[in-house]
Amino acid sequence: MRTLLRPTAFVDSPFGHDGKVARLAGGMSWFTAVELIAVDGNRRASTELVPVDGIESRFDQDMAAQWEALIASRRPLQVGDRTVRLDQPQVMGIVNATPDSFSDGGQFPDGKAAAEAGARMAAEGAAIVDVGGESTRPGARSIWEGDEIERVVPVIRQLAAAGTAVSCDTRKADVMTAAVEAGARMINDVSALTYDARSAGVAASLNVPLVLMHHQGDPQTMQDDPRYDDVLVEIYQWLEERIEAAVEAGVKREHILVDPGFGFGKNVGHNLELMNGLALFHSLGCPLVVGASRKRTIGALSNEAPPDKRLGGSIAFAMKAIEQGAQIIRVHDVLETVQAVRVWRGLRDQALTPRP
């Protein structure tokens, strides 16, 4: 039996609440209460809501370590020459150089068009552009590394040459290597280093930031009938294990980011529960990446709207994630999401301006 800590009861600012609030991950969110989640195996045995004031008297060693991870500042990401601050939310733009991705597959006829799209995203305010060459939508089949490299390398090379901070979305060791050689300075692995036996060692040797994403099953089968005893607890503990596995393989802990994998082996109910409980994952001590843009859940909640008609739902999920302290929001619609983030930031800045 162990106890997990989920921050809740957020307030706009800490002013006038000395000792009663805590700052979440060194960011722009403050919370006044914590849900103590007693875990037995893979599920919640009980929950208790307690105020921040005096909470440390309840801690055992494991809970104390989680608490320190919750409130510790996240160091900036160094993505090549670009420094990406994580004390405020950042937007990551998605460029799928694929013919079959669920939302924008086949949109770009060649690498030049894909690179131009990435450059537009950077100009619109994306801190990082994530380039992928293999679809991992439900039902998608794996492709040969050589084909994936051929798709992503020209795009990465053009973007990096223009000074864009580039990530490569891949689960294959050889693609990771080729991407970094082309100028990518971050790896986003939807398999969390479980797909390719060589990927953990390669990721460690490349010495760049690495996103570990939760998934259940592979893209071909992951949406057939996903099941969990307790989706929030299981994903937390799975990511905890993957972080430790990556560190044991030589990946620097400060290079690791985590993504709970919205839509990857999860049904609508799982996704909604995951988003509602998102703040729990900060106690893993890693920056949090959330990618809910245009996902199937939005269509399910809006009369089966197709992917290109899911902007409103995508922004709603982005704002829900940001309010719970997510540091990086991965999206297709950069201009609109950046605008929403800037309005949120304006509201927060005003709340954090002391009154005369």
% of the chain exceeding 70 in pLDDT: 94
Which position has the higher pLDDT, 93 or 107? 93
Residue 262 has pLDDT above 60, yes or no: yes
Bridge partners, 7 (sequence order): 34
Is 157 annotated as catalytic? no
- Per-residue pLDDT, 329: 98
Query: Average model confidence (pLDDT) for the chain?
Result: 93
Annotated active-site residue in 295, 296, 310, 348: 295
In this prediction, residue 107 has a pLDDT band, given cuts at 50, 70 and 90, of confident
Please state the rounded mean pLDDT for residues 256-270: 96
- Per-residue pLDDT, 110: 78
- Per-residue pLDDT, 121: 98
- SS3 call for 228: coil
Annotated active-site residue in 151, 242, 330, 348: 330
CA distance 162 to 159: 5
Task: State the DSSP H helix or E strand holding residue 156, giving kind and residue range, or none if neither.
Answer: helix 145-161
- Read off the pLDDT of residues 129-179 as tens digits, 9 standing for 90 and up: 999 999 776 666 777 889 999 999 999 999 999 999 999 999 999 999 999
Which of 49-58, 122-131, 224-233 is least confident? 224-233
Q: Quickly list DSSP for 23-61.
A: ESTTSS-EEEEEEEEEEETTEEEEEEEEESTTGGGG--H
Bridge partners, 46 (sequence order): 38
- Per-residue pLDDT, 223: 67
- Per-residue pLDDT, 222: 54
Q: Which amino acid, 335?
A: L
Residue 104 has pLDDT above 60, yes or no: no
Task: State the DSSP H helix or E strand holding residue 184, giving kind and residue range, or none if neither.
Answer: none
- SS3 call for 196: coil
- Read off the pLDDT of residues 8-49 as tens digits, 9 standing for 90 and up: 999 999 999 999 999 999 999 999 999 999 999 999 999 999
CA distance 120 to 343: 21
Is 295 annotated as catalytic? yes
Could you tell me if 34 and 3 are in contact, meaning their C-beta atoms sit under 8 angstroms apart?
no
- Per-residue pLDDT, 119: 97
Could you tell me if 139 and 104 are in contact, meaning their C-beta atoms sit under 8 angstroms apart?
no
CA distances from 142 to 94, 134, 313 (A): 19, 7, 29
Bridge partners, 210 (sequence order): 187, 256
CA distance 72 to 30: 13
Report which of 63, 71, 69, 70 is spatially closest to residue 36, judged by C-alpha positions.
63
The domains found in the chain, sorted by start residue, are 2-71 (no CATH), 77-350 (3.20.20.20)
Residue 257 has pLDDT above 90, yes or no: yes
Residue 102 has pLDDT above 50, yes or no: no
In this prediction, residue 354 has a pLDDT band, given cuts at 50, 70 and 90, of confident
CA angle (104, 292, 90) in 5-degree steps: 95
Exposed / middle / buried, residue 350 (Cβ in 10 Å: 0-12, 13-18, 19+): exposed
Burial 121-152 (b: 16+ CB within 10 A, else e): bbebbbbbbbbbbbbbbbebeeeebeebbebb
Could you tell me if 126 and 93 are in contact, meaning their C-beta atoms sit under 8 angstroms apart?
yes
Please state the rounded mean pLDDT for residues 186-207: 97
CA distance 140 to 110: 21
- Read off the pLDDT of residues 308-331 as tens digits, 9 standing for 90 and up: 999 999 999 999 999 999 999 999
Please state the rounded mean pLDDT for residues 175-194: 97
Give residue for tokens 């057939």. 224
Which of 86-90, 95-99, 198-202, 205-209 is least confident? 95-99
Report which of 284, 265, 262 is spatially closest to residue 273, judged by C-alpha positions.
262
CA distance 308 to 294: 7
Residue 100 has pLDDT above 60, yes or no: no
- Per-residue pLDDT, 218: 67
% of the chain exceeding 90 in pLDDT: 86
Please state the rounded mean pLDDT for residues 212-229: 78
CA distance 307 to 171: 24
- Per-residue pLDDT, 141: 73
Residue 127 has pLDDT above 80, yes or no: yes
Report which of 282, 286, 310, 284 is spatially closest to residue 296, judged by C-alpha positions.
310
